[in-house]
Amino acid sequence: MRHELTELEGITLGWIRGHEPATPYAVRVQFEQSPSSRFTGSAGAIYPLMRRLEKRGLLASEPTATGRRTGRAYRVTPEGTRALRAWLKSPLEPADMFTIDPLRTRVLYLQHLGPAERDAWVDKAERCLREQLALISDYEALHADDPFHRLANDNARRETRARLAWIRAVRAALS
């Protein structure tokens, strides 16, 4: 009885649970409108993933037809709910939760850019972080009703603010 889920599987399962019955396309749209770039929500990922979860007994599907179109709509099975709950609780080992910040890795080797290039880099980074704050607010407006979405959004905002404060510290340190 394997219950381990990848991050994408966990998120998908969680989303479907709240939007049953859900087609793969609906899941895809959801991923595309999210400002996160970790997953594209490409068809090539979602369709096989959902069939995979069904084969594992975590999803069950019924055929749907809008007009003459064929397709399948999925629901989370009790087994799937159990897997979702296990996923929610599980991977909280300290090692697993190190955040990945592409800015952080790049600053490690910033010595290989000239002073002017470094300044340009820092400026651009700060601009991008500001834009991101705006994107976060936009996205938040879409889900103002869901308190859990608001909490997740608060996380994104706080992290982005911390990175902004940091990038300003970087600028100060470089000059």
Partner DNA sequence: CCGCTCATGTAACTGGTTACATGATTTA
Partner DNA sequence: TAAATCATGTAACCAGTTACATGAGCGG
Query: 3-class DSSP state for residue 74?
Result: strand
Applying CB under 7 A, the residues found at the interface with DNA are 6-9, 23-26, 28-29, 38-45, 47-49, 64, 66-72
Applying CB under 8 A, the residues found at the interface with a second copy are 7, 10-11, 14-15, 17-18, 35-38, 81, 84-85, 87-89, 91-113, 117, 120-121, 124-125, 128-129, 131-132, 135, 147-149, 151-152, 154-156, 158-163, 165-166, 169-170, 173
d(CA 19, CA 5): 19
135 binds, among DNA, a second copy, none (CB under 5 to 8 A by kind): a second copy
Nearer of residues 23 and 160 to a second copy, judged by Cβ: 160
CB 9: neighbour CB atoms within 10 A? Answer: 19
Query: 3-class DSSP state for residue 125?
Result: helix
d(CA 90, CA 80): 15
